[in-house]
Amino acid sequence: MKTFHVEGGIHPEYRKERTQENAIVALPMPKILCLPLKQHAGAPAEPVVSSGKRVKKGDLLAKPQGAVSAPIHAPTSGTVVDITDMTAPHPSGLAQKTIVLRPDGKDEWGALPPPIENPFAADPAEIDARVGWAGIVGLGGAAFPSAIKFGLRSKKPDILVLNGAECEPYLTCDDRIMQEHADEVVDGARIMAHALGVSQILIAIETNKPAAIVAMTVAAAGYPAVVVMPIPVQYPMGSEKHLTKAVTGRETPAGKMTADIGVVVHNVATARAVREAVRFGWPLISRVITLSGAGLTRGMNIKVPLGTMVVDLIEFCGGFKDGIAPQRLISGGPMMGHPLPSLDVPVIKGTCGILALTKAEINEQPAGPCIRCGGCVSVCPCGLVPLEMAAFIRHDNLEQAEQIGVRDCVSCGSCSYICPSHIPLVQYFNYAKGKLNAADRDHRKQERLKGLVEGRMARMEKQRKAKAEAAATAAAAKKAQAAATAAAAAAAGTATAAAPPTETPKASA
């Protein structure tokens, strides 16, 4: 099938060879698991267990709260030893409510929901519910609750794109999943397609993963609706909207979702997790991640129980190379990942890799003046002019930065990567987007407040009017009555004419 041209992008050094050939290895159960309540986009989950509670594998630990949220299940059997504030795997290094579980080593399953025997005959709503129950989120890194994306059925999509691009350097976990579990991924994708009501499944894989392409093509062979599409190696091909453009030729209008143009995108690992939830009733309690970087003794692809501490993973990989701490420890890929504040943070649902990067790999230099080489303009996959946006932001002129499209930036980092002056462009854009979003929130708050005040004023005005009207009608009624009485009196003759109107004292009272 034909692929479509996507503008811009870069060809970084991929450095995937370090782990590309390494089969997925299961991590032995760690001594302790720490499960933060917010492992997904949206509101944190709410604990349903308390300290001292014994749980079995797959038992619910925390339930979702709010419209966008996901539950958290026990990755193994053991005892909840604490629910406490712990450093989150987030660049802020701030603490977050975390459930601490001590495994008992038995790894006993608790009661699971029954498998959905024939998912292709099942009501899509049943599959939604199961995926939501299982706490599945996008495993490509964004960690958006998948069940909500299943709800996009209402937009009547016609294509499901399975994202196997894995365009970030170093990461090979999706590659390995496709190589080793191609049948499961295809099965999961077909279940997703059934739930979404789409007839066409496109599996997009960058051509630097030939083994995965072969395995997936073989697995998809029996299903005419499933097409494996090799796509050019071009970062950021895995970006949802750019991938959609590359495989379908459809360009998502600004401010819309891919579903608005009929396309739903899911990661390959997510498809596999959906299959396990549907066919076996397993919640999402582990994931495959890549450990890599020259700062690590050996690179590996590891199946990790959620909540595993990074320090345990590093140890499993033989520790830091020559015992020397790397320059940075990154969660995710080197392009869009974020630095980890410490080794004592857990793996969460959105963690797709842990990289120990050396100084040489990072090649961080002090920023120099912009020489307007235009490199950032030609690599920007969003068609922006990064140097100009950065210049506006440097002068805190966020309005103009917004006008020339800073909000259209996906923070892919291509501009920063290519910049000969090493200007941290993405840093500027993230700052601006943060500030603009905060201003938006303030503005919305003010608008809401204004609405409330205006509403109150309108109500008061209405009340006042109603009162006045009631008073006026009462007065009119009185007048009419008085007139009627007077008329009656007149009719009754002069004998009673001198008598005062009976109502008058009451009315004046």
- Looking only at residues 367 through 386 of this chain, which bind another protein when binding is defined by CB under 8 A? 368-375, 377-378, 380-385
Closer residue to another protein in complex, CB, 198/274: 198
**Which region, judged by CB under 8 A, interacts with another protein, from 117-125, 254-262, 392-400, 443-451?**
254-262
CA angle (25 as vertex; 20, 28 as ends), nearest 5: 150
- Looking only at residues 269 through 328 of this chain, which bind another protein when binding is defined by CB under 8 A? 325-328
- The DSSP line for 113-165 is PPP-S-GGGS-HHHHHHHHHHTT-B-TTTT--BHHHHHGGGGG---EEEEEE-
- Please pick, from the candidates 114, 222, 255, 505, the single residue that binds another protein as defined by CB under 8 A: 255
CA distance linking residue 305 with residue 317, whole number of Å: 16
Closer residue to another protein in complex, CB, 238/283: 238
**Shortest Cβ distance from residue 339 to another protein (Å)?**
5
**Shortest Cβ distance from residue 255 to another protein (Å)?**
5
- Looking only at residues 8 through 27 of this chain, which bind another protein when binding is defined by CB under 8 A? 10, 12-13
**Are residues 185 and 159 in contact, defined by beta-carbon separation less than 8 angstroms?**
no
- Please pick, from the candidates 128, 166, 388, 402, the single residue that binds another protein as defined by CB under 8 A: 388
Report if residue 233 touches another protein, rule: CB under 8 A.
no
Q: Distance between terminal CA atoms of the chain?
A: 91
Strands 286-292 and 300-305: antiparallel
**Shortest Cβ distance from residue 297 to another protein (Å)?**
15
**Are residues 116 and 57 in contact, defined by beta-carbon separation less than 8 angstroms?**
no
CA distance linking residue 11 with residue 235, whole number of Å: 6
**Shortest Cβ distance from residue 418 to another protein (Å)?**
5
Closer residue to another protein in complex, CB, 404/490: 404
Report if residue 38 touches another protein, rule: CB under 8 A.
no
Closer residue to another protein in complex, CB, 185/198: 198
Residue type for 448, please? R
- Looking only at residues 407 through 426 of this chain, which bind another protein when binding is defined by CB under 8 A? 408, 411, 413, 416-422, 424, 426
**Are residues 57 and 307 in contact, defined by beta-carbon separation less than 8 angstroms?**
no
Closer residue to another protein in complex, CB, 420/451: 420
Contacts of 43 (CB under 8 A, 6+ apart): 64, 65, 66, 68, 69
Report if residue 206 touches another protein, rule: CB under 8 A.
no
Closer residue to another protein in complex, CB, 360/499: 360
**Shortest Cβ distance from residue 100 to another protein (Å)?**
21
Closest C-alpha among 320, 309, 314 to residue 358: 320
Backbone angles phi, psi at 94, to 5 degrees: -75, 160
- Please pick, from the candidates 29, 233, 362, 482, the single residue that binds another protein as defined by CB under 8 A: 362
Report if residue 397 touches another protein, rule: CB under 8 A.
no
Binding track, positions 327-356, relative to another protein; x by CB under 8 A: xxxx---xxxxxxxxxx-----------xx
Tally Cβ neighbours within 10 Å of residue 29. Answer: 17
- Please pick, from the candidates 101, 165, 167, 198, the single residue that binds another protein as defined by CB under 8 A: 198
Report if residue 389 touches another protein, rule: CB under 8 A.
no
**Are residues 165 and 242 in contact, defined by beta-carbon separation less than 8 angstroms?**
no
CA distance linking residue 406 with residue 287, whole number of Å: 34
Report if residue 363 touches another protein, rule: CB under 8 A.
yes
Backbone angles phi, psi at 203, to 5 degrees: -105, 110
- Looking only at residues 60 through 99 of this chain, which bind another protein when binding is defined by CB under 8 A? 91-93
CA distance linking residue 87 with residue 477, whole number of Å: 74
- Looking only at residues 104 through 163 of this chain, which bind another protein when binding is defined by CB under 8 A? 156, 158
- Please pick, from the candidates 115, 124, 405, 501, the single residue that binds another protein as defined by CB under 8 A: 405
